[in-house]
Chain A
Amino acid sequence: MMLHRDKVIESFHQLGFSPRVGEFEDRILIQKCVLLLQLRGLGTAYPYRLHIRGPYCVELNREAFAHRDEFEAPASRGALDEKERAIVAAFGETFELRPNQLEVAATYAYFVSCDGLDPVEAHRRTRKLKSFVPAAQQALGISRAKRFLYPPTEEETREMKDEFALWQSASLRSGRDHE
C-alpha cells in the first residue's frame, strides 16, 4: 500500500517544518500534522488507530526513522497538486506547530471523522484523553480543528447570524447609550 511519503515531506517543506526525528516533541508534530492534513484531503493513506496516546500511526513513525534524512531536510518533490497545496496552506494559516494544540485538534478530529462520534461526545472524550492540556489550549485546539475540517455550511452560518442578530443589535444599542 502506498502511504505517499512524498506528499508528507513536501507538505512539511511548504510549512517550513524540518522535524528532528530523534526528538519526541517533533515526532508528536509529525503524527498530528499528517493526520489533520490527511483528514482534510491530502492524498495520503496512513492507517491511524487510537492508542493510549490518542490517534497514532505506527507505520508513519517507522517511515520517519527509516527515511530520517528526507524528513529532516524536506524538499519540494512535485508530489502535491494545486488542491493539496491549498490544503497545506490552510493548515499553516489555521494551526501553530505546537504539540498541545495539535494533539487536541487531531484527537478531536479522529473521534469525529474516524469514530463517527457527534461533536459533543468527541469533545468530551478529547478533554478526558488530553486532560493534562490546560483548558484554554484544549478549547483552542478543538476550535481550530473545527475551523480546518468542519467549517459551518452556508445555512448554518445564516442560522447563526439570525440567532445572534438580536444580541448584536442590543449590544450596539447599549454601546450607543453609553457614548
Chain B
Amino acid sequence: MNLLQFYAHNSREALTLIGQHLFLVAVSTGIALTVGVPGGILLTRRPAWRGPVLGIANVLQTIPSLALFGFLIPLPFIGGIGARTAIVALVVYALLPIVRNTYTGIAGVDPAVREAGRGMGMTDGQLLAMVELPLAAGVILAGIRVATVVSVGTATLAGAIGAGGLGVYIFRGADMVNNTLILAGAVPAALMALAADGLLGLAERRLAWRAG
C-alpha cells in the first residue's frame, strides 16, 4: 500500500492527527510568544537578570526532548498523560529562541539612536514602541521562526505520551516496521515545518530593517 492509498483509506484519522499537531504547535508557540517577548524586553531593562535567565533557558534546551516529555509525566499540575504535558514541553523549547532574539534584537539597536530618542524626551515606553521594537522586529521574528519550526518537529514526540499528533503514525510505524505508516506521519510534519519556515521567513524579510 502506498502513501496516497493509505490516506485515502484513513482520511478521517489523518486529518484528526494533523489537526492535533497544529493545535499543539499553535498553542505552545502562542504561549511562548506571550511569555518570551515581554521576557526578552525585561532582560534589556534588567541587565543583571540576563546571565541567569538565558543560562537556565540554555540548560533547559539541552535536555533531550524525549527525556523532557518523560520527566514531565509524573509531575502534578503540569504533568500527566496528554496534550497539557506536551504543550508544557514544547513551550520550554520555544522560549529560548524567542527570549534570546528579543533581547538581542533590542540590544542591537544603535546606542546613538537610543540616546537621541531619550535626549528628545521620549519616555521608555515610547522608545520601546516607536523605536526599539520596530528596529528589532526582524530579529525577533527570526527567533519566532526557529521556535515554530523546532516545535513542529518536536511535537511528533507528543505521540509517545498520548497527546496525539502526527507522531502517532511515526511511533506506530516504527513498532510495526511499516515505512508507509512512518511516512504518513513524517511527510505532513515536514511539509508543515517547511510551510512555517517559508511564511515566517517572508514576514521576516518584509519587517527586517535595511539599515543604510
Q: Do A and B come from one complex?
A: no
Which A residues contact B (CB, under 8 angstroms)?
A: none
User: B residues touching A (Cβ–Cβ < 8 Å)?
Assistant: none
